[in-house]
Structure 1
Amino acid sequence: MTSASSLSADKRDPGSSPPAFRNSYAQLPDRFYERIDANPVASPRLIRVNSALAEELGLDVDYLASPEGVAMLAGNKFPDSARPIALAYAGHQFGNFVPQLGDGRALLIGEVVDRNGTLRDLQLKGSGPTRFSRNGDGRAAIGPVLREYLVSEAMWALGIPTTRTLAAVTTGETVYRETRLPGAVLTRVAASHIRIGTFQYFAARQDAEALKTLADYTIERHFPQIAGQEQPYLGLLESVIAVQADLIARWMLVGFIHGVMNTDNMSISGETIDYGPCAFMDAYNPMTVFSSIDQLGRYAFANQPHVAVWNLARFAETLLPLLNDDQTKAIAQAEDALRQFQSRYEAAFHQGLRKKLGLLTEADTDIGLARDLFETMARNRADFTLTFRYLGDDIDSPEGTGLTRSLFANPAEFDLWATGWRQRLAQEPQHAMARRQAMMSVNPKYIPRNHRVEAVIKAAVESSDFTPFKELLSVLVRPFDEQPTMAQYAAPPEPHERVLQTFCGT
């Protein structure tokens, strides 16, 4: 098998050392998790270590690339300081409540303190069965592992809060889905793995003690600034609403579709988590759905803000016993907090839209101008990413010319919209060159387009070739740079290249 990593075991520093894990979540009561021993795989081999992230976490890169490190990353053998556990949680899946889900193919092996003093989880995905596996094999195929590695690192490079990928390894074993596929394990890094569904797990059991313990732990870990407030649990609800409103706005500004916004897939910390049937839009259509299991479009692109509010309402329900002994008053407090989502979301989204259009000041007509652009893009199936990217190039172009109009089936419709946009730009104080630079810093040229990701997966599955993965990753971590030799990665798919469905991979 070809390894894409520039690291190799034989270059290991003899002084390299394993992580010194902390295990704060494992100190919570036993009903929060299941302790798990290693589930060894046959022949783990390293695909890639994310060296920059490892250094950010204060981890020894040489150790991670060594046989001992690869054994840890595969779930074969853990350092003495690790306390591997599978976390318990519940969740609403496509609107239907499931009282017990949990980590069915993942292990939290421990926590590390990064260079900024922040506690970060290390979790293995595809590490084997747990009591939460629900008859699953607990393993992962290479495709979902590479997809999550590529998309999560792309999201990080775009400045969007996200879990990240520390490493990927192959297992030397086969997993069975629709066909026989190579197995793999991904090491995910997160602020934590506490989900809305974690709170739902204990609320469904009417376990008030566990709910309070979980809320106190969450406040201490993620929102310590509210610990001393008169109503810290209301502060927790408002804080989670605020970070989720910002997160969803950021998704919408880059055309990202999560694909499976179940409550067990929403992180309390406000990070994007669980990259299953996710995708970035090519041609703009607000009702775009990629997930093969989302038959009714519940999690379509345009529905994401509405789903976020619905999920947050389920979170609020779990906190009602902590908000007030009087349920009527608790419900009123929760409803008041939930009403904050829309204004927070709109503020973040509208600010982002102005930046994407090159507007640094505010005018009452700005949002209408943006809405008109989206409607024109939808009618003409214009590419989401390149429309905004090319607007920056077109600032100095004479009206009616430029790259952007070439993306529209009827360029005259774009020309009509651009007339109003140029009139609005004329009211801005900054020079065109400064405006262009500002636009290029928020409008990416490169995103993990579906057809490119699928090509990477095909090469890995069919030929054990990780060179395409390595090259695409190198492009995606610099989404705003021009990268002339990699320009092909910016192009939308040709009709025969379009990927219309993505899959969870479980």
Structure 2
Amino acid sequence: MPPAPDYRPSRSHAVLGPDFYDPVPAAAFPQHILRWRNQRAAETVGLDALTEAEWTQHFGRFQPLPGSFETPLALRYHGHQFRHYNPDLGDGRGFLFAQLYEDKGRLLDLGTKGSGRTPYSRAGDGRLTLKGGVREILATELLEARGVNTSKSFSLIETGEALHRGDEPSPTRSSVLVRLSHSHIRIGTFQRLAYLSETQAIGRLIEYTLATYWPQIDPGPVPALTLLAEVMAAVAQMGAQWMAAGFVHGVLNTDNINITGESFDYGPWRFLKTYDPRFTAAYFDETGLYAYGRQPSTLLWNLERFAECLMDFAPESALVAQLERFQDIFRPALRAAWFKRLGLLQGELDSDLAFLSNLYQFLLDSGAGFEQIIFDWVGADPARAALSPQSALYARPDFAPIRLGLETRADPAAVAPRGNHPADLPIEEVEALWAPIATADDWSAFEAKIASIRANLTLA
């Protein structure tokens, strides 16, 4: 691969030292069939000129990218899973393949899923089903379209192995996914070091993360407090964006929350059809711990676990005081996320949040489609709302104050969504998109769905 002028590789993560990762080989796959290439994302990191053969060499056979890691790195971490601590985690079917800078100057990671066994695979085979890869592409594309900070599905290559899974008809097809993300340093990365009492390593990680991901921020006299503040702001913003997108992550364990606040490592995710705070995405979440409405409090719980890892570097009282600011950060972030999606201008915070509270109540009482009402009322255009399949709901008396709130806050510059219906993604449609791939290797419906989602990317 001849380096492009805007290709800027990095080996940044390696400076942390071998206590943070294990060099691992990639699996040797019997086939390499390119199924997804995110050309739009490739353009941001100088990899858009790769031929299909070069792309497959790097993201299917994992030939090193020039100037980045010679050997992939399986990252070490622990985490709370459904609030039970698990020290037997780590990259079990993925690794950090490369790092590089995007056109905006941020350091980004190319990480994998399904790239083979590592020291942390335990009883797993280190593989990813093709259906799992398709689901992740759909999730990341729709999250990006709805204005959510998210990793990007960069590449999906079918690998020709037959996998056996308890939650899919087996044998099923296999794949290897590459994601592009701002960071793969997780809350669980810090937890592992605290669990092992590796205080000096925590100090190095605090210094590294601030210098690498927040270089514009003065670390101040207590860098650990500065780091907690930045991580909390990033995670709160991500959570607020999930709520405005109607997204239910599914498995909000501490190892699934990265410090830069980007959505990744989803469980059995869902997008709401209708507003329901109790809705859970995972069939095994029997208590509703990770329900849609509990996501903000769950993120705070995870941040509290992060703060515990910093107690040797900052006074406990100061850490607690910082955590107590979560709602002060989350509330305006929630308003910003919703108003961006609805094409509204922000005003006085309490008034704007009261408007959102009324909107939630209307959604709950009326059973209106979650995404449909956003599609109908972006920029408060009553003409478009009148064409909606749920237009009759807008004649209800309890919608009148919401309509007034929309009209008085409407941004004249708001861009109307394209098309005649919202780019939604209920689980039934995911199954319908997968069926022709599974039975006839027909990707046309999947490709059309991605095009539809991207056509609606107007407010992100």
Q: TM-score, normalised by structure 1?
A: 0.82
| 1:164 corresponding residue in structure 2 | 152
Cα offset for 1:16?
7.8
- Which shows bigger deviation, 181-190 or 17-26? 17-26
Cα offset for 1:290?
1.6
| 1:57 corresponding residue in structure 2 | 45
Q: Does 1:105 align with 2:93?
A: yes
Look up the equivalent residue of 2:443 and give its one-letter code. F
Separation in 2, partners of 1:48, 1:283: 31
| 1:142 corresponding residue in structure 2 | 130
Cα offset for 1:458?
2.2
Q: Does 1:371 align with 2:357?
A: yes
Query: 143, 162, 177: which is aligned to 2:165?
Result: 177
1:405/1:415 contact within 8 Å kept: no
Cα offset for 1:366?
4.0
SS in structure 2 of the partner of residue 246 of structure 1: helix
| 1:497 corresponding residue in structure 2 | none
Cα offset for 1:362?
3.0
Closer, same or farther in 2 for the Cα pair 1:390/1:53, shift >3 Å? Answer: same
Separation in 2, partners of 1:46, 1:354: 38
Separation in 1, partners of 2:294, 2:267: 18
| 2:450 corresponding residue in structure 1 | 473
Query: 20, 25, 28: which is aligned to 2:13?
Result: 25
Query: 255, 261, 264: which is aligned to 1:264?
Result: 255
Closer, same or farther in 2 for the Cα pair 1:463/1:32, shift >3 Å? Answer: same
| 1:340 corresponding residue in structure 2 | 325
Query: 167, 170, 179: which is aligned to 1:188?
Result: 179
| 2:30 corresponding residue in structure 1 | 42
1:214-253 superposed matches below 5 A: 214-253=205-244
Cα offset for 1:378?
1.7
Separation in 2, partners of 1:162, 1:353: 17
Separation in 1, partners of 2:252, 2:391: 30
| 1:460 corresponding residue in structure 2 | 437
Q: Does 1:416 align with 2:397?
A: yes
| 1:486 corresponding residue in structure 2 | none
Separation in 1, partners of 2:61, 2:165: 21
Q: Does 1:451 align with 2:428?
A: yes
Deviation per residue, 1:33-63 (Å, 9 max, x gap): 1111231100111112111111111114334
Closer, same or farther in 2 for the Cα pair 1:357/1:193, shift >3 Å? Answer: closer
Deviation per residue, 1:312-371 (Å, 9 max, x gap): 000000011111xxxxxx110111110111111001112444555665253554433332
Deviation per residue, 1:225-250 (Å, 9 max, x gap): 33542221110001101111111111
| 2:285 corresponding residue in structure 1 | 294
- Which shows bigger deviation, 106-115 or 305-314? 106-115
Query: 380, 385, 390: which is aligned to 1:406?
Result: 390
Separation in 1, partners of 2:407, 2:47: 51
Deviation per residue, 1:350-405 (Å, 9 max, x gap): 2444555665253554433332332232233221000122134874369xx93568
| 1:349 corresponding residue in structure 2 | 334
2:4/2:46 contact within 8 Å kept: no
Separation in 1, partners of 2:291, 2:171: 30
Cα offset for 1:298?
0.6
SS in structure 2 of the partner of residue 302 of structure 1: helix
1:68-79 superposed matches below 5 A: 68-75=54-61, 77-79=63-65
Look up the equivalent residue of 2:353 and give its one-letter code. I
Cα offset for 1:96?
0.4
- Which shows bigger deviation, 207-216 or 375-384? 375-384
Closer, same or farther in 2 for the Cα pair 1:76/1:272, shift >3 Å? Answer: closer
SS in structure 1 of the partner of residue 240 of structure 2: helix
| 1:388 corresponding residue in structure 2 | 374
Identity among equivalent positions (%) equals 31
SS in structure 2 of the partner of residue 249 of structure 1: helix
Cα offset for 1:422?
4.0
Separation in 2, partners of 1:131, 1:392: 49
| 1:202 corresponding residue in structure 2 | 193
Look up the equivalent residue of 1:418 and give its one-letter code. F
What are the ranges of 5 or more consecutive residues in structure 1 without an aligned counterpart? 1-13, 324-329, 483-506
Separation in 2, partners of 1:171, 1:92: 32
Look up the equivalent residue of 2:397 and give its one-letter code. L
Separation in 2, partners of 1:352, 1:272: 15
Closer, same or farther in 2 for the Cα pair 1:480/1:124, shift >3 Å? Answer: closer
Separation in 2, partners of 1:358, 1:193: 32
2:187/2:258 contact within 8 Å kept: yes
Closer, same or farther in 2 for the Cα pair 1:342/1:463, shift >3 Å? Answer: same
Closer, same or farther in 2 for the Cα pair 1:209/1:476, shift >3 Å? Answer: same
Closer, same or farther in 2 for the Cα pair 1:163/1:346, shift >3 Å? Answer: same
Look up the equivalent residue of 2:345 and give its one-letter code. L
| 1:493 corresponding residue in structure 2 | none
- Which shows bigger deviation, 194-203 or 150-159? 150-159
SS in structure 1 of the partner of residue 90 of structure 2: coil
Separation in 2, partners of 1:481, 1:244: 23
Cα offset for 1:75?
3.7
Measured on the aligned residues, the alpha-carbon RMSD in Å equals 2.7
2:145/2:458 contact within 8 Å kept: no
1:168/1:184 contact within 8 Å kept: yes
- Which shows bigger deviation, 154-163 or 212-221? 154-163
Q: TM-score, normalised by structure 2?
A: 0.90
Cα offset for 1:158?
2.6
Look up the equivalent residue of 1:343 and give its one-letter code. D
Look up the equivalent residue of 2:221 and give its one-letter code. E
Separation in 1, partners of 2:363, 2:150: 28
SS in structure 1 of the partner of residue 34 of structure 2: strand
Query: 128, 132, 148: which is aligned to 2:116?
Result: 128
Separation in 2, partners of 1:37, 1:355: 44
- Which shows bigger deviation, 201-210 or 344-353? 344-353
SS in structure 2 of the partner of residue 62 of structure 1: coil
